[in-house]
Amino acid sequence: MSDLPSARQIGRSIPRLEARDKVTGRAEYVHHLRLPGMLHGKIFRSTMPHAIIKKIDVSAAAALKGVYRVVTVDDIKTVLPHPYYGPAFHDQPVLADGKVRFAGEPVAVVLATDRKIAEEALGLIEVEYEELPGVYDEMEAANSTTLVHDELKPAATFPDLQHLKGRRGTNIALDYRLRRGDVEKAFASADHVFEHEFRTQQVMHIPMEPFVTLADVSNGHATLHTASQSPSFVRIEIARLLGWPENRVRVKVPHLGGGFGGKLYIKLEALVTSLSLLVRRPVKISLTMEEQFFMVTRHPCTFRIKSAVTKDGRITARDCKVWWNGGAYADIGPRVTQKAGFTSAGPYDIDHVSIDSYAVYTNRPPAGALRGFGAPQTAWAYECHMDMIARELGLDPADFRRRNILRNGRPQASGTLLRDADIEKSMDQVMRHLAWDQPYDHGKGRLRKGRGLAIGFKGITAPTTSVAIVNLYADGSCALYISTVDMGQGSDTVMAQIAGEVLNIEASSIKVIHPDTDVTPYDMGTLGSRSTFHMGTAVRLAAEDAKAKIAELERDLGLPPGSNLSVADMLRKKYGMQAGNIIGTGSFIPDYQKPDPQTGQTSKATPFWGVGASGAEVEVDMETGEFTVLKLINVADVGVPLNPHLVKVQLSGAGIMQYGFTTTENMVFKDGQLTNGSLADYKIPSLLDMPKDYINEATASNDPQGPFGGKGAGESTTIALSPAVGNAIADAIGVHLLDLPITPETVFRAIQSKRNKAEA
Amino acid sequence: MSTQRLIEFTLNGDAMQAVVSTKDTLIDLLSDKLDLRGARESCGQGLCGCCTVYVDEKPVSGCLTLAWFADGCSIRTIEGLAQGDKLDPVQEAFIEAGAFQCGFCTSGFILMTKKLLEEHPDPSEDQIRHYLIGNLCRCSAYPEIITAVQLASKKMR
């Protein structure tokens, strides 16, 4: 177009568009928002993990001066006869409906104009329960006669779950299977068979901005201001819940104080909307830090993995059985079960693969998506398993991987060919940083050193859609209308760079309109590393559409092609004054082929592959089990880094988060009760925990199907980090840990058990 | 039941009055009554630093300090840092180093960094890590925060 040419936008580390707002305390979050006439809601929660509710007495609470109303599910049912919600299953009542399924489940809400009064009134509510036996462990629940739900209720929005409808007598919400080749035969003729069982713990996202929703429902329309990663989904689900058309539900999302997968699909929105519908006033609920642990968590899992290996180190078959502890409500657990299931044999070229992945209901807080969608849990198992096999066979762990690594053009377990995935290159880069080919001194005496590496990959949720609008105003300035949520990953900035690149406009001058479903078009959600690839492509298409319309306008005005007239001048010429718009639209849905339900086979399982490799060097005190990570390396294939600084911060930040999940973070339960729901007892990484020598880099890569070669970056470094640390510890102490988190105590116990075995 | 009381204080240099109850924390006062957004309650236990403000130039956790105690004090918040359009060097350094992602914890980090640099104008990396231990960033922009502190130190010397 004819505006003054500017520098290239792609590949530049321009600061975030909202940087100034964030350093001056002016950035907009729902956290601060208040509306006239607004009531605060405080949630009364179950103290029982599994029980029938015999009686709820709210009279004393309702009588407290300043309390507007105390609400139970019976009140909600007067306006919403079936107040159940959820993305995969409609299994979650907005407030407990006759039964509680985990300790911490919402049972009643106190509404008051004064938050403190609402909080005080909570202590006056009395509930009588009839306690039921609980199931907390996924392995126990998979075969238990104690049932969390009587019947499975899949949501209509997920057509592939319909066969589960009405299934009774089980805690298994979904059984995913993949079959490739003849696993039985391969095991029967194997030189070696290795089998191990690994477990990961329950952890939580801990966004610094706790979950918050403000709903204003009146006269047949609803407006929600919510800290959500998926405004379009919230609108669809709230419209379904209310039985209204989508155009009567408006969902607005400003900046998010962190999401990490927690604020996906539908969370507080269902309850808060129901409350506002009931009392006809705006209602806001902000959770406390402790309450966040009862909203959503990451699945603990048990993974039994078995491999058939030839004497020269080729894996011929692998059998994976994964049980996901989904807690009391399915949330997006069934999708985690499928998506992490299909890559759970790891990034290896194996002819015979069998995978069974089970979503299991238990009486724990619900589990959903968390940065990696299950991939980090499965990689913990398959990558520790790789090192354990290498050790048994006397092979170098990197060499053993290289003999089996999945290369571009070869079929992954689903049958989908790997493409544009730098798995081996990532491993090579990690090895260089660890000087892997050099002799290594493990040290002697009390302090022992070790090093380890791991690789991993993930498929991306598919098929999903993004729609974008580019609007050039009468003066030629540009705005981008997208429903991607900027929760810190920098999507506003990168999307502006993509639009700016096409239209030759300085990215920092582009206004990005934040999600508002009355204004911004559909997007499936800001999740699973999909935004750069999906929304980025939609934005590129929208900008190209606008560019084509500018050329059309040029022709309509009888101007020679490539005339120097600016958009503003052309519009002025057309309308006779500063008026009009040029609007470009774009929408994108990648190719996808539904997997065969019996075998999981498909030619197109994922739009692209997320790839990460990690390496670690540790020092362990053999007397105490204390360990220090001396060096930590993450290498990811992110395609072309569209904004190198933002990519690096993403890789590094995700890595530190995963380091917390590896070493300190663990939701501890006793008899179904969470015992450490606070930052005092549940430790997330601080500046002191970050390894001093911490390296994050991208491979020199390019995904030709992504916008300007880019693809997702938000999860890649979460996948291989835990097993890299685990393998380094094993290298130092000579024995493998099977469970996360790795703590001085678990390391000490492992050292002791090895010593005891040696003595015996 | 809580008791109400009128307190007087200065907020970013301006004289103010407010009626507060015995239960109100400083963060309640700042966000609910004075409509400021920069200090935010997150952990509610004084462990994350998102609610950091200065009372008589001393950094405190707004979620643990009772509003009542601010009577007669000077309160300074992130909103009072820039002079008109001119950002404080620490704010500039945080932008230049790209030292945040979601930004929810940023106000607290910036206010603590200012104090750190008052006490240690040229801090070592260890000093930075230890001084900022009471501020948590879940997006974990920690490496960039260290760079920002070092950059701010250079700007201010």
- Measured between alpha carbons, how far is A270 from A256 in angstroms, rounded to an integer? 19
Q: Which residues contact A76 (CB under 8 A, 6 or more apart)?
A: A83, A94, A95, A274, A275, A278
**Contact call for residues A604 and A460 (beta carbons, < 8 A):** no
Please determine, for residue A183, whether its predicted confidence score (pLDDT) is greater than 50. Answer: yes
Q: Which residues contact A123 (CB under 8 A, 6 or more apart)?
A: none
- Measured between alpha carbons, how far is A469 from B132 in angstroms, rounded to an integer? 42
Which residue, chain included where needed, has tokens 């029982």?
A48
Alpha-carbon distance values, A588 to A466, A468, A482, A542, A728 (Å): 5, 9, 13, 10, 42
A667 and A618, same domain (yes or no): yes
Q: Which residues contact A40 (CB under 8 A, 6 or more apart)?
A: A111, A112, A113, A114, A115, A118, A283, A284, A285, A286
In chain A, what residues touch B149 (CB-CB under 8 Å)?
Answer: none
Residue among B42, B133, B141 whose CB faces A289 most closely: B42
- Interchain CB contacts (distance < 8 Å): A and B: 161
Domain boundary among A292, A322, A343: A292
pLDDT tens-digit map of A60-88: 999 999 999 999 999 999 999 999 999 99
pLDDT reported for residue A286: 98
pLDDT bucket at B51, cuts 50 / 70 / 90: very high
**Contact call for residues A463 and A592 (beta carbons, < 8 A):** yes
In chain A, what residues touch B85 (CB-CB under 8 Å)?
Answer: none
Query: What element of type H or E holds A44?
Result: strand A39-45
- Measured between alpha carbons, how far is B146 from B157 in angstroms, rounded to an integer? 17
Whether residue A402 is contained in a domain is answered as: yes
Whether residue A368 is contained in a domain is answered as: no
Closest approach of B55 to chain A, Cα-based (Å)? 18
**Contact call for residues A278 and A76 (beta carbons, < 8 A):** yes
pLDDT bucket at A157, cuts 50 / 70 / 90: confident
pLDDT tens-digit map of A660-679: 999 999 999 999 999 999 99
Whether residue A182 is contained in a domain is answered as: no
In chain A, what residues touch B136 (CB-CB under 8 Å)?
Answer: 208, 679, 684, 686
- Measured between alpha carbons, how far is A53 from A125 in angstroms, rounded to an integer? 13
Tokens of A728: 């380094």
Q: What is the mean pLDDT of chain A?
A: 96
Torsion from C-alpha of A29, A34, A40, A41, nearest 10 degrees: -40
A738 and A629, same domain (yes or no): yes
A525 and A646, same domain (yes or no): no
ipTM: 0.98
In chain B, what residues touch A123 (CB-CB under 8 Å)?
Answer: none
The residue among A483, A470, A503 whose CA lies nearest residue A9 is A503
pLDDT tens-digit map of B106-157: 999 999 999 999 999 999 999 999 999 999 999 999 999 999 999 999 999 8
**SS3 labels along A114-154:** CHHHHHHHHCCCEEEEEECCCCCCHHHHHCCCCCCCCECCE
In chain B, what residues touch A371 (CB-CB under 8 Å)?
Answer: none
For chain B, positions 67-96, list CB contacts with chain A under 8 A. 77-79, 81-82, 87, 91, 94-96
Whether residue A181 is contained in a domain is answered as: no
**Chain B, nearest residue to A25 by Cα:** B38
pLDDT reported for residue B2: 67
**Which CATH topology does B4-80 take?**
Ubiquitin-like (UB roll) (3.10.20)
In chain A, what residues touch B101 (CB-CB under 8 Å)?
Answer: 258, 488-490, 649-650, 653
3-state SS class at A636: strand
Please determine, for residue A370, whether its predicted confidence score (pLDDT) is greater than 80. Answer: yes
pLDDT reported for residue B1: 52
pLDDT reported for residue A504: 95
In chain B, what residues touch A24 (CB-CB under 8 Å)?
Answer: 38, 78-79, 81-82, 87, 91
Contact check, Cβ <8 Å, A690/B140? yes
A579 and A727, same domain (yes or no): no
- Measured between alpha carbons, how far is A554 from A548 in angstroms, rounded to an integer? 10
Please determine, for residue A2, whether its predicted confidence score (pLDDT) is greater than 60. Answer: no
Residue among B87, B96, B140 whose CB faces A653 most closely: B140
Residue among A28, A488, A678 whose CB faces B102 most closely: A488
A401 and A473, same domain (yes or no): no
A483 and A557, same domain (yes or no): yes
Alpha-carbon distance values, A44 to A109, A277, A598 (Å): 6, 19, 44
- Indicate the residue type of A85: Y
In chain B, what residues touch A488 (CB-CB under 8 Å)?
Answer: 100-103, 139
Q: Which of B19, B101, B106 to mutate to test the interface with A (most CBs of A within 10 A)?
A: B101
Please determine, for residue A479, whether its predicted confidence score (pLDDT) is greater than 50. Answer: yes
Contact check, Cβ <8 Å, B42/A258? no
Question: What is the average per-residue pLDDT within A394-420?
Answer: 98
CATH of the domain at A233: 3.90.1170.50
- Indicate the residue type of B21: S
Query: What element of type H or E holds A723?
Result: helix A721-733
A282 and A413, same domain (yes or no): no
A635 and A707, same domain (yes or no): yes
**Contact call for residues A101 and A95 (beta carbons, < 8 A):** no
Contact check, Cβ <8 Å, B133/A20? no
Q: Which of A16, A20, A24, A634 to mutate to test the interface with B (most CBs of B within 10 A)?
A: A24
Contact check, Cβ <8 Å, B102/A13? no
Please give the backbone phi and psi of residue B19, each rounded to the nearest 5 degrees, phi first.
-95, 120
**Contact call for residues A634 and A614 (beta carbons, < 8 A):** yes
Contact check, Cβ <8 Å, A26/B37? yes
Residue among B47, B98, B143 whose CB faces A680 most closely: B47
- Measured between alpha carbons, how far is A70 from A112 in angstroms, rounded to an integer? 9
pLDDT bucket at A4, cuts 50 / 70 / 90: very low
Closest approach of B37 to chain A, Cα-based (Å)? 6
Question: What is the average per-residue pLDDT within A636-655?
Answer: 97
Alpha-carbon distance values, A680 to A329, A683, B45, B134 (Å): 27, 7, 8, 12
Please determine, for residue A304, whether its predicted confidence score (pLDDT) is greater than 50. Answer: yes
Please determine, for residue A3, whether its predicted confidence score (pLDDT) is greater than 80. Answer: no
In chain B, what residues touch A288 (CB-CB under 8 Å)?
Answer: 44
Q: Which residues contact B85 (CB under 8 A, 6 or more apart)?
A: none
Tokens of A369: 């998506």
pLDDT reported for residue A200: 98
A234 and A102, same domain (yes or no): yes
Domain boundary among A292, A318, A352: A292
pLDDT reported for residue B48: 98
Q: Domain locations in chain B?
A: 4-80, 89-156
Please determine, for residue A5, whether its predicted confidence score (pLDDT) is greater than 60. Answer: no
In chain B, what residues touch A206 (CB-CB under 8 Å)?
Answer: 138
CATH of the domain at A582: 3.30.365.10
Closest approach of A496 to chain B, Cα-based (Å)? 17
**Contact call for residues A105 and A673 (beta carbons, < 8 A):** no
Whether residue A259 is contained in a domain is answered as: yes
**Contact call for residues A228 and A253 (beta carbons, < 8 A):** yes
Alpha-carbon distance values, A270 to A62, A288, A323, A517, A580 (Å): 23, 18, 29, 17, 39
Strands (E), A171-314: 172-180, 192-200, 212-218, 221-226, 249-252, 283-286, 297-298, 301-309
Domain boundary among A561, A588, A615: A588
Domains B4-80 and B89-156 share a fold: no
Residue among B48, B87, B107 whose CB faces A679 most closely: B48
Q: What is the mean pLDDT of chain B?
A: 96
pLDDT bucket at A6, cuts 50 / 70 / 90: low
pLDDT reported for residue A243: 96
Contact check, Cβ <8 Å, B81/A24? yes
Contact check, Cβ <8 Å, A257/B45? no
A635 and A737, same domain (yes or no): yes
Contact check, Cβ <8 Å, A24/B36? no
Bridge-based pairing state of the strands A609-621 and A627-637: antiparallel
Contact check, Cβ <8 Å, A16/B98? yes
Whether residue A309 is contained in a domain is answered as: no
For chain B, positions 52-71, list CB contacts with chain A under 8 A. none
A92-106, A143-157, A413-427, A572-586: least confidently modelled range: A143-157
pLDDT bucket at A225, cuts 50 / 70 / 90: very high
Please determine, for residue A21, whether its predicted confidence score (pLDDT) is greater than 90. Answer: yes
Closest approach of B138 to chain A, Cα-based (Å)? 7
A641 and A736, same domain (yes or no): yes
Contact check, Cβ <8 Å, B38/A24? yes
Closest approach of B72 to chain A, Cα-based (Å)? 25
pLDDT tens-digit map of A555-572: 999 998 778 899 999 999
Closest approach of A488 to chain B, Cα-based (Å)? 4
How far is the first Cα of chain B from the last one, in angstroms, to the nearest whole number? 51
Whether residue A157 is contained in a domain is answered as: no
Length, in residues, of chain A? 760
**SS3 labels along chain B:** CCCEEEEEEEECCEEEEEEEECCCEHHHHHHHHCCCCCCCCCCCCCCCCCCEEEECCEEEECCCCEHHHHCCCEEECHHHCCECCECCHHHHHHHHCCCCCCCCCHHHHHHHHHHHHHHCCCCCHHHHHHHCCCCCCCCCCHHHHHHHHHHHHHHHC
- Measured between alpha carbons, how far is A657 from A272 in angstroms, rounded to an integer? 30
Q: Which of A22, A64, A718 to mutate to test the interface with B (most CBs of B within 10 A)?
A: A22
- Measured between alpha carbons, how far is B137 from B77 in angstroms, rounded to an integer? 19
pLDDT reported for residue A156: 80
Residue among A645, A655, A657 whose CB faces B98 most closely: A645
Question: What is the average per-residue pLDDT within A441-464?
Answer: 96
A711 versus A156: the higher-pLDDT residue is A711
The burial of A131, by beta-carbon neighbours within 10 Å (0-12 exposed, 13-18 middle, 19 or more buried), is given as exposed
Whether residue A620 is contained in a domain is answered as: yes
Please give the backbone phi and psi of residue A623, each rounded to the nearest 5 degrees, phi first.
-90, -30
Residue A259, domain extent: 33-134+205-292
Torsion A749-A755-A758-A759 (CA) sign: negative
**Domain B89-156, CATH:** 1.10.150.120
**Chain A, nearest residue to B22 by Cα:** A116
**Contact call for residues A660 and A352 (beta carbons, < 8 A):** no
A580 and A645, same domain (yes or no): no
**Contact call for residues A325 and A290 (beta carbons, < 8 A):** no
Question: What is the average per-residue pLDDT within A672-687?
Answer: 97
- Measured between alpha carbons, how far is A516 from A482 in angstroms, rounded to an integer? 9
Which residue, chain included where needed, has tokens 């510890």?
A729
**What does the DSSP 8-state code read for residue A34?**
-
**Chain B, nearest residue to A643 by Cα:** B98
Packing angle of the helix pair B89-96, B106-119 (nearest 10 deg): 120
Tokens of A3: 């505006």
Total tally of structural domains belonging to chain A: 3
